[in-house]
Structure 1
Amino acid sequence: MSGKDFQDRAVGAIMGAFIGDALALGPHWYYNLDDLRRDYGDWITGYTDPKPGRYHAGLRAGQQSQAGFILELTLASLVERGEYDAEDFCQRMDYELFSLLDGTPVSGPGSYTSQSIREAWRRRVKQKLPWGQTAGQADTTEAIERTLAIAVRYALDPAQLATAVAGNAALTQADDLVLSLTVAFGTVLGQLVQGHPLDTEISDRLMKLVKTGELPFHAVTRENLQPPRPGDPDPPRAGRFASPDALLSPAYMAAAAADPGVRIEPAWKVSLVYGMPCAIYHQLPAAYYLAARFRDDFESAVLHAVNGGGQNQARAILTGALVGAQAGFSGIPWRFTDGLARGTDLLELAERLAEQAAGEGR
């Protein structure tokens, strides 16, 4: 396990996500890399203003997008309630977010509202449906971007982590594949906060938790993915997800990062290899790769995530959380927190959550 203190890793995961979000605020969603370089130069190194007429126009360098706003809302609920309280979270979404939206993309905190949040808003506000009937079919990482705080809170209790993340994610995500990938990311992040590295062994550790029934994934293989033997019974379904594949992919990304015969140079081109769009199946492989390759180098990891263009904000949030958990907050250059809008407030919330998470294991 990592020598970093548990609370240092927990704070690093949360602050890494906030920093990744703010770093991509200006250069968000440039799918033409020539346009990105024209507007921001050959290499983005810090917080930048969004350009007029582009996403998040009117905001300033270091501020949060709506993803950061919702992450803070989730974090505040966890800290104030001392645990994941679904009713409290939903009330905050109703009164602190949905009251600021009008159902259009360019609206609300951060000056842009994602598809899944717009769909939930329509069901909740326009159709007057109860929470639990608000999920849509968006295939993005939107739920991961807020539930990463829940994953940190329950890092020492994988079963509770999976239950809470799945329940919260299902408020906006209806697709079981998206939900399984969301829960898998949370379990990976929990392992990193515990002190395990993002390496080729991580999936084996996760599969052991499947075998003990702590993670809600179905698997028929034996140890090391060996085939079942004649006469072996079909194991009882541990949970709702029909396949453990979402838990297996992180180890493959880590193997690619460690294999000298597999090189993505420069590393920002991970966006070209795995894809620049928003879908979760583009975002997760890139984030896992960068977090495995730069596990102790927070700055390199998030800057390569940002400079790859496309949906670089989600890529940077996820990468920032994963690398922040490995490097610890002590491994994040102070300039990123210092330049973050309300950075000291966010740090205080992260520290309070880390204290609660650490208390789970006492």
Structure 2
Amino acid sequence: MSHLFPTYQRWEIEPAKASGSVIYGKDGLEYLDFTSGIGVCNLGHRPEAVEQAVKEQLELFWHVSNLFPQSIQEEAAEKLAKASGLDCVFFANSGAEANEAAIKLAKKATGRKKIITFLQSFHGRTFAGMAATGQEKIKHGFGRMLETFVHLPFNDLEALKNEIDSDTAAVMIEIVQGEGGIHVVNEEFIKEAGNICKENGVLLIVDEIQTGIGRTGKPFAFQHFGISPDIITVAKGLGNGLPIGAAVGKAELREHFGPGSHGSTFGGNPISTAAASAVMDIIFEDEFLKGVSAKGDTLFQLLDKELGGLEVVTEIRGIGLMAGIELSAAVQPFLSELRKSGLIALPAGEKVIRLLPPLNVRTEDLQKAVNIIKEILIKQTVTA
């Protein structure tokens, strides 16, 4: 009997080690990993520069608490601020904690209560994160949710105009709804949403937990649309496997997060911030991001060419190296067969295969993955 709570539907693969885009299982087999630890290992498994930064910090100190100034935090915060165009950083341990910080900051700064989010969104599994999330399935069994969240249809401008009022603190949105099915925001909608927020004194929070740190070919996904959020949240790819999250905000919000207003014992842990700093040194380089965009173009060209004509495929969508393949059938049986064929992928809802390869994935591995997907989709459809 396992002594772990059964909160996860575990796969049949137990990793023995991992490197780059490959997981080596205890079964002696190799698996091409197109999950990146659910969008975490953006530089693949155990990138040398990040591993070296962690080793160097391990030899200095592991934890001293946030009562001490720590230059490693300042370095990482400066890189986040520079890449995002924002100013102030609060370090947390995860995406859910980053979103909690953003929600608290928005309410405190505005003195208002209501947060508008969107159907099919995902913002975490804490109580505020669940309440913000526009998916009922994650709320079942937990009782009454926090009441100051309103969920609107994604990309529905009229609904947003009708809902914003004098008690609205913030609009919180994902540029790409990852867990919700890889739905990309409409450009007209997000630009007008930014204008509406500004006109009404409402803060715009962009949840970049899954899309940030180069995943879409820019440092942050909002930068594809020329908008200026007041707060962004990041995690996942920031530490490449070390636990870290952050809420990043404009300078005028600084006064609302003074001493005692918020905190975290482990937030900004020096090991994690050392990893994050090393990650950003690589991913935020222009040439690296150009490479991500080019590989993203290649991936979608391959998907369209090889899968676009298959009857079971209803739509292919995404941006950068974040792809969703929507099927006309339940996705889990296909994912199981993909793993048996050496490719690990994710679901995004009940009918979408989600691909999140490392940002430094080889072109030949993109081709290999698409070939495996095509083979399994044809095979499973024929035998169904």
Common fold by TM > 0.5? no
Q: What is the TM-score of this pair, normalised by structure 2? A: 0.28
TM-score by length of 1: 0.29
Comparing both structures, which one devotes a greater share of its residues to helix?
1
Greater relative contact order structure (CA < 8 Å, 6+ sep): 1
- Structure showing greater Rg: 2
Flag the structure with higher strand content: 2
